Amino acid sequence: MNAPIALFVYNRPVHTRRTVEALLKNEPAAESDVFVFSDAAKRPEVGESVRRVREYIRTITGFKSITIVERDRNWGLANSIIDGVTSVVNQYGRVIVLEDDLVTSTYFLEYMNTALERYQAEDRVMQVSGHVFPIRVHGETDAVFLPMTTSWGWATWGRAWKHFDPKSTGYAQLKGDVKLRKRFNLDGAYDYFSMLEAQLAGRVDSWAVRWYLSVFMRGGLTLFPVKSLVENFGFDGSGTHCGAGQEGGVLAQDFIVHTFPPVIADEAAQEAVNCYLAGQRDTRNGMWHRLSEWLRSHKPVTARIHN
């Protein structure tokens, strides 16, 4: 049976339509149940765009079923995703998660469902990712395991999501262990620990960094395709949590994951990811620089990060 899909939308009708239309090109879409979680307007000026999104999602056809959850108040992205993912996995045991600025390849759902079935009994495997950074991976399989998570087109099981720790209780251990903190930061390639501290201080509201911490503290792994099956097109200045001009990934539209790896972290692939993220960090226009500058000059918001 295909896993249900949880789609989170807000105030971008054009983006939402593009996400849905790409997903419908996947053959398993017709046999997939979709749950659309529509957040309410945070400010009066976005009320009309939220209304247009809701008008559109009520017209969606082509899936096995559509269930629409319209929030009657603004939950924010983090709370909406935490609640939505929890409700779906509690009912179905697994879920595929998308947001309204992601374009998927025509083989995205096939990959996701195959991986969810293949690794369902592997406790160390806690997430399946459809997105991967633009790196070169030289291996014998079409996917690899990495000790990190993702927020751009992913899936999980109820057995893994039950370990999600919204209070980030692993923070104290990270703060007191330099070596562990360095590993959490991908050997210094990306400063997730500062993001975690910003979360705990209330400067951001990120479900994703808390999920990464939850997986990291259990030694969990995420399956990544060696070429990306998801592209984030939300970095056009239209999103609440995305700046313009950021890296959204390169979609490998015709790539099919045929071969899957044993449950072992791929050190060479991780090194390639670390090099890529370090390069982004060291470039003045890199994501971490812009995010750091933004955090210093803005009030608390829901953060949108790589992980």
pLDDT band at 280 (very low <50, low <70, confident <90, very high): confident
For residues 283 and 229, the model is more confident at 229
Tell me, what's the pLDDT at 249? Answer: 57
pTM for this structure? 0.89
Structure tokens at 194: 């500062």
Q: Where are the beta strands (DSSP E) in 81-210?
A: 94-99, 102-104, 125-129, 143-146, 154-157
What residue type is assigned to position 36 of the chain? V
Radius of gyration, alpha carbons of the chain: 18
Secondary structure (DSSP) of 23-62? HHTSGGGGG-EEEEEEPPPSSGGGHHHHHHHHHHHTT--S
Q: Which CATH number does 5-297 carry? A: 3.90.550.10
Q: What is the pLDDT of residue 103?
A: 97
Going by DSSP bridges, is the β-strand pair 125-129/221-225 parallel, antiparallel, or unpaired? parallel
What is 261-284 written as a DSSP string?
--S-B-HHHHHHHHHHHHHHHHST
> Residue 151 pLDDT > 80, yes or no?
yes
Judged by average pLDDT, the poorest of 8-22, 66-80, 202-216, 287-301 is: 287-301
Q: Enter the tokens of residue 74.
A: 């603004």
Residue 278 near residue 148 (C-beta atoms within 8 A): no
The DSSP line for 95-112 is EEEEETTEEE-TTHHHHH
Query: Quick one: pLDDT band at residue 305, thresholds 50, 70, 90?
Result: very low
Confidence tier at 296 by pLDDT (50, 70, 90) = very low
CA angle 195, 181, 296 (to 5 degrees): 25
**Cα–Cα dist 224/137, whole Å:** 11
Query: Tens of pLDDT along 170-219?
Result: 999 999 999 999 999 999 999 999 999 999 999 999 999 999 999 999 99
Residue 268's identity, in one-letter code, is A
SS3 259: coil
The two three-digit tokens of residue 163, written as one number:
């370990």
Cα(200)–Cα(165) distance, integer angstroms: 13
Is the per-residue pLDDT at 242 higher than 70? no
Reported as half-sphere exposure (CB side, CA atoms, 13 A), residue 253 has a value of: 4
Domain ranges of the chain: 5-297
* 127-140: average pLDDT: 94
- Segment 94-120, tens digit of pLDDT: 999 999 999 999 999 999 999 999 999
